[in-house]
Structure 1
C-alpha cells in the first residue's frame, strides 16, 4: 500500500439510524435514544461486556467505519465516545494477543493508530467520557478527541514499557502536545497506572467528575451545548489551526487571516452575526464538504486513507 497515494474515495450509504448498523463490539445511540433517525448528538459505546471493552481488530474496524461516516454525515454535530460497564477500555485484549503476521515494512498500520486517525480526521467534535479505567490503547485512542472528561478516580495508564512495546495510536504526537514533554516522558517511562486526578495528568482532562455516574451526563451536556450553539466549520478549522499550524507567530497570522477572509460573509458567519443581533439561537448549516474556505487544506499531509463521501455527492478535488 502506498500511503501517499490512497485508493480513490469511496461513496458511502449513510444509515437512517446508526443504531441499526450490525456492529458486533460497538453500540451507537441517538440522543435521545428513542429517536428513530440520526440526531445531532450520537453516543458511541465500546461494547465488550465480558472483556472490559478490550481492544480487538473487530473493534478497530467498527470504530474506523463509524467515525468515517460521522465525518461526512451532515446530521451529526457532536460525537460522545463512551464505554460499557465499569471500565472505559482495558487496553489491548491480551487473551487474543498481538499480531505476529505483520511484516517489517513502512506500510505497517497499528490498529490503535487507525482509530486515532479516524477520530482526528473526523471533522465533528468528539467528547471522550471516561467513567472508568482506561489503559494502553484505552487511553491513547482518546487523545485525538476534542474534549476529555473523566471520573476523578479512574485508573489511567500508559503501560507500554511494561509490555515490551512502545506508545502507539499516534500518542507520541498527541501526548506531549496535551501534557508537555516532561509529564509525557514520566508517564511512559514508568508505565505506571495513575488516578485521573494525579498531577502528572493535569491538562489531559478538561473536567474531572466526582463519580462514574456523573461522567456521561456531563459529556452529553457539553455535546448539547456545542451542537446547539456552534458552527461545525468553525470548530473544525480551529482544531486544525492548532494541530496543523505553522511554526511562527508571523506565519500563523498570515494563515489565520486567509482562513478568516474565506469565512467572512459565508452562511455560518452571516447567521452567527444575525442571530446575535436578533438575540436568538443560531441555526448553523454550513459543512466542510461545501463551505470550507479556499485556504483549506493548507498543509501537505501524508495520506493514510482516502476520505469517503456520501453517495450521490461528489467531493471537491481539494478534499
Structure 2
C-alpha cells in the first residue's frame, strides 16, 4: 500500500466539491470522528469527476491517519447526492470505448471510491439527509452503517437513463437487500422513500428530520470511535464481506482470525478497560502484525483455480 501524507487539519484542505470537518468543528487538528460531505448544494451535490477524485483522496488519507476512528458521510444542503451531473454528461468517458483493450482497462471511478471506502480501516456511517439517486445511492452500500431521514427519496434510475449499475453496487445490493428486492430496484429504476419496505432494510435507523439524521450519525460514530477497536471492527466487516462458501470454511477462517486477536494489544486493552470500568485506549491503526494472513481473500482459491484479486 502506498503511503499518503495526512494533514494536520482536514478542515483546511483545499477541496472544492466535498468538505471535511472535525467533531467538534472547532478542533484545530484531526478528531476521532470526521464528517465528509458532498458539497455542491446548488447542484443537489451532483457528482463530477473532481468530486470523485476528492472523495477517494480523502478516504486514502483517513485510512492511514491514526487520529481518525470513524467517518460520517452526508450531504450539504437539502440533498445527500443527486448522482451524476447530467449537465456535464458522460462525453469525457467516450475515449475509454476506442478499443477492446481500452474497455478492458477502464475502471469506473465511482467503483474506485466504493473500494476506497470498503478498504478503509475506519468505518463509515452514512447519514442520508436528503435525496440520493444513482451514485448518490450506490455509494452508501459499502458503508458499515446507514441511517436515513425517513422521507428521503432514493432510487437507481440507470434503466431509465440507458445505463447499468456501477460503483460495485451489483455486488453489495443483493447482499444487503436480497436478490429479489435488488432486482426490483434495478429493473424499475423508480424512486422510493427511505421508509418504503422495499429499501428500508438498508437503514439501521430512520429519523424524522434531516438534522436529527446527521446528529444521530455523529453520535453513533462518536460511540464507535471512543469504545471500539479499529482492528476488530475492520476484521469483522471483512469476515462478513469476504466470507467463504460453507459453514465449515467459515469455521476455519473465523477461528483463525479469532485466535490471532486473543492476547493482542487491543484485546488486552479491551479486557483491562472493562475490568477497570473506564474507556479503552485502543490503537488508532490496524494491527497487521496480529493477522499477517490478512487480507485472506487475496490468496483464496476460486473454483477455477484462479486467485481472488485483492481489492
Give the TM-score normalised by structure 1: 0.90
Secondary structure at the aligned position of 1:106 is classed as: helix
Secondary structure at the aligned position of 1:185 is classed as: helix
Distance 1:167 1:216 in 2: 27
Match runs of 1:243-282 below 5 Å:
243-282=241-280
Determine which structure has the larger helix proportion and give its number: 2
Equivalent residue for 2:72? 80
Match runs of 1:211-250 below 5 Å:
211-250=209-248
Equivalent residue for 1:25? 17
Equivalent residue for 1:100? 94
Equivalent residue for 2:170? 172
Larger RCO, structures 1/2 (Cα 8 Å, 6+ apart): 1
Cα contact 1:54–1:89 (8 A) shared by 2: yes
The answer to whether structure 1 residue 49 and structure 2 residue 47 are counterparts is: no
How far did 1:289 drift?
A: 5.3
Cα contact 1:267–1:286 (8 A) shared by 2: no
How far did 1:36 drift?
A: 0.3
Equivalent residue for 2:120? 122
How far did 1:261 drift?
A: 1.3
From the superposition, tell whether residues 36 and 154 of structure 1 become closer, same or farther in structure 2 (CA, over 3 Å). Answer: same
What per-residue deviation string (whole Å, max 9, x for no partner) do you get for residues 232-283 of structure 1?
Answer: 0000000000011111111111111111111111110001111111111111
Distance 2:232 2:29 in 1: 25
Equivalent residue for 1:39? 31
Equivalent residue for 1:142? 140
Distance 1:58 1:137 in 2: 14
Cα contact 1:132–1:151 (8 A) shared by 2: yes
Residue of 202, 216, 223 corresponding to 2:200: 202
Equivalent residue for 1:302? 309
How far did 1:49 drift?
A: 2.3
Cα contact 1:26–1:62 (8 A) shared by 2: yes
Cα contact 1:258–1:295 (8 A) shared by 2: no
5+ residue gaps, structure 1 = 1-8, 305-319
Distance 2:270 2:2 in 1: 33
Cα contact 2:128–2:147 (8 A) shared by 1: yes
Cα contact 2:4–2:64 (8 A) shared by 1: no
Distance 1:239 1:164 in 2: 33
Cα contact 1:262–1:294 (8 A) shared by 2: no
Number of aligned positions between the proteins: 296
Indicate the RMSD between aligned Cα atoms, in angstroms: 1.2
How far did 1:291 drift?
A: 4.1
Distance 2:166 2:295 in 1: 26
Equivalent residue for 1:158? 156
Equivalent residue for 2:303? none
What per-residue deviation string (whole Å, max 9, x for no partner) do you get for residues 136-183 of structure 1?
Answer: 000001100000110001000011000000111100000000000000
The answer to whether structure 1 residue 283 and structure 2 residue 277 are counterparts is: no
Distance 2:84 2:236 in 1: 32
Secondary structure at the aligned position of 2:282 is classed as: coil
Secondary structure at the aligned position of 2:116 is classed as: helix
Secondary structure at the aligned position of 1:20 is classed as: coil
Cα contact 2:157–2:186 (8 A) shared by 1: yes
Distance 1:289 1:60 in 2: 29
Cα contact 1:55–1:92 (8 A) shared by 2: yes
